[in-house]
Amino acid sequence: MPFPTSDMLAAFGTYIRFQSLGKTLAERHPELAHRIEVAETAPLYLKVDLDGKRGVLLAHVRFPYTIMWRLGLTGPGLTAAASVLPLDTSEEALADAVHAHTTAHLTGAPVPSPWRWHENEHSDLTELADLLDAQGVVVRRVAAGNIYSLRDPYYAPELVTPSHRDPHVDATVDGHELRISLKPRLGWVIDLWCSEVDLWTRVDINRSLGRPLSPVPGVPRADLSVAELAKLIGAGHPAWESEDVGSIEDDDSAADPTRPGIGYEELFLTVLGQLGTFGFTDVYEGDAENPLRSTHFHIALHSAQKDLSAPALKALNGEAAAAGDDVLKRLMVITRAGLSKPAAVFADQAKAFVFQLDERTGRLAGLHARAREVLLPRDKPDFQ
């Protein structure tokens, strides 16, 4: 008897997984047991019957480079948006998601939170989405534990994976598109899409709330409740204080190595404009020797072509600590080079910011996790 092929073993493993899912759903939600159907042959699926014609269907769906779980309605009169969940989602979470959608359709009630936002667990982001929805704000997407979503049409859906992977909520308030992020190191950040110039800018949360300005972008999670944040967003554009938008030429248009870069003065004015838009409220124009100055930051310009090492960055951090008189200064580095991995780890530990400067365009790029968090999104809102 020939040994089973890898494809046969994989198919059998998938079959066992669906059978186990049906059992888990029946055990966790026995009131649905008589409605559960698990396919015995390909294509495999788990279905909960609603009325003999429609059902809630859980199945695998194949996209380029990946396979996902797809959860949605099947049958006539499809109106509800389907959810896509990562393949490694636990059986318990899948069973609870199926139960939530089934119960909603059987009772005629809305799918409850967090499942209505295509999430499996409650979080600050789902709470924010609930509060915004209650104010009439259109919530486009919640990306907390699940960053994936589908773009219609339902018969040939496209998998959407945002380049912005920090937990966030995309919302529309009176025609204005917002991305509200909860960043691991910075806390709450709000970015505003400016359709007139096809660019993002940042809303200064502290200034919008009448609070003292912070020299660092973001508002720590502990310093701002979800309810306060939702109230500010729901107040609309007149309540939001934001920086002017500065246009920077895309990297693709500056790819020609023979193309001259911008001048020295314009270069640092461009850098200064970006830092202000990011939310660094205490960086201002200096002189020819020190073009960027700050009360709270020691700003070092690193012009060597060799990547910054951890010892070199620690030395600069020591200079920053010694530079402040009344205020202990933090380190900010603008470099034309890169950053070694140990240096990137130290930069995050020291709460420093290290940016790489493209001298031809003036664009800043973050070289470690904390610096990358302050950057504006580069992708357009995908519902545009």
Residues 35-63: tens digit of each pLDDT: 999 999 889 999 999 998 899 999 999 98
Instruction: Assess whether pLDDT exceeds 60 at residue 317.
Output: yes
Instruction: Assess whether pLDDT exceeds 60 at residue 22.
Output: yes
Q: What integer is the mean pLDDT of 3-21?
A: 81
Say what percent of the chain tops pLDDT 90: 69
* Span 134-162, pLDDT tens digits: 999 999 999 999 988 887 655 667 888 77
R_g (Cα) of the chain, nearest Å: 25
At 81 the pLDDT is 73
Instruction: Assess whether pLDDT exceeds 80 at residue 88.
Output: yes
With the CA atoms of 90, 161, 76 and 38 taken in that order, what torsion angle do they form, in degrees rounded to the nearest 10? -20
**Residue scoring higher pLDDT (7 or 110):** 110
**Whether 331 contacts 297, CB under 8 Å:** yes
pLDDT band at 76 (very low <50, low <70, confident <90, very high): low
Which phi and psi (to 5°) does residue 200 adopt?
Answer: -95, 150
At 279 the pLDDT is 94
Instruction: Assess whether pLDDT exceeds 90 at residue 250.
Output: no
Cβ atoms within 10 Å, residue 366: 19
Write down the mean pLDDT value for the chain.
89
**Residue scoring higher pLDDT (288 or 92):** 92
* Span 166-213, pLDDT tens digits: 899 999 999 999 999 999 999 999 999 998 888 899 999 999 999 999
Structure tokens at 68: 């996902």
pLDDT band at 384 (very low <50, low <70, confident <90, very high): very low
* Span 114-132, pLDDT tens digits: 999 999 999 999 999 999 9
pLDDT band at 247 (very low <50, low <70, confident <90, very high): low
pLDDT band at 233 (very low <50, low <70, confident <90, very high): very high
* Span 325-362, pLDDT tens digits: 777 899 999 999 999 999 999 999 999 999 999 999 99
At 141 the pLDDT is 92
Q: What integer is the mean pLDDT of 83-101?
A: 95
**Whether 331 contacts 300, CB under 8 Å:** yes
Q: What pTM does this model have?
A: 0.90
At 154 the pLDDT is 58
At 167 the pLDDT is 92
